[in-house]
Amino acid sequence: MRLPSLKPRDVVKVLKRIGFVEHRQTGSHLILVHRTKRRIIPVPIHVREMKRGLLTAIIKQAGLTQKEFIELL
């Protein structure tokens, strides 16, 4: 299954659905923290779409599979 090209804001929306909240923004990176699992994920906020390698890394950091992530879109 191939990941779709997504804008950073779409990725943030999915992460918020699974319990992440905005902690702070440093420059062009939004730092998200999970409420209970103590996971921290930095998401670069740019105009262009995310590359698949970066998106895959963010999905792994969130503790999801690619299939689970796509279902949350």
Please name the residue that has the structure tokens 């699974």.
18
Backbone angles phi, psi at 28, to 5 degrees: -100, 15
List, in order of start, the domains of the chain with CATH numbers.
Answer: 8-72 (3.30.920.30)
Model confidence at 2, pLDDT cuts 50, 70, 90, reads confident
Contact, 60 vs 16, CB < 8 A? no
Burial of 19 (0-12, 13-18, 19+ CB in 10 A): middle
Read off the pLDDT of residues 17-63 as tens digits, 9 standing for 90 and up. Answer: 999 999 999 999 999 999 998 899 999 999 999 999 999 999 999 99
CB 42 within 8 A of CB 34: no
Helices (H), ranges, the chain: 8-17, 52-62, 66-72
pTM: 0.93
Res 1: pLDDT: 73
